Amino acid sequence: DADVTQTPRNRITKTGKRIMLECSQTKGHDRMYWYRQDPGLGLRLIYYSFDVKDINKGEISDGYSVSRQAQAKFSLSLESAIPNQTALYFCATSDPQTGPNPRYYGYTFGSGTRLTVV
Residues that bind another protein (CB under 8 A): 31, 33, 40-43, 45, 48, 50, 58, 88, 90, 94, 96-97, 103-112, 114
What's the min distance (Å) between Cβ of 31 and another protein? 6
Helix (H) or strand (E) holding 94: strand 87-94
Rounded Cα distance, 32 and 35, in Å: 10
Q: Which is nearer to another protein, 42 or 99 (CB)?
A: 42
Residue 36 CA to residue 38 CA, distance in Å, equals 7
Strand-pair partners of 77: 20, 65
Instruction: Work out how close the CB of 17 gets to another protein at its nearest, in angstroms, rounded to a whole number.
Output: 24
Name which of 37 and 65 has its Cβ closer to another protein: 37
Cβ contacts of 37 within 8 Å, gap of 6 or more: 43, 44, 87, 88, 89, 90, 112
Indicate the residue among 85 and 89 with the shorter CB distance to another protein. 89
Closest approach, Cβ 104 to another protein, in A, equals 5
CB of 80 to another protein, least distance (A): 27
Q: Residue 80 or residue 95: which is nearer to another protein going by CB?
A: 95
Residues 6+ apart with CB under 8 A from 35: 43, 44, 45, 46, 58, 89, 90, 91, 92
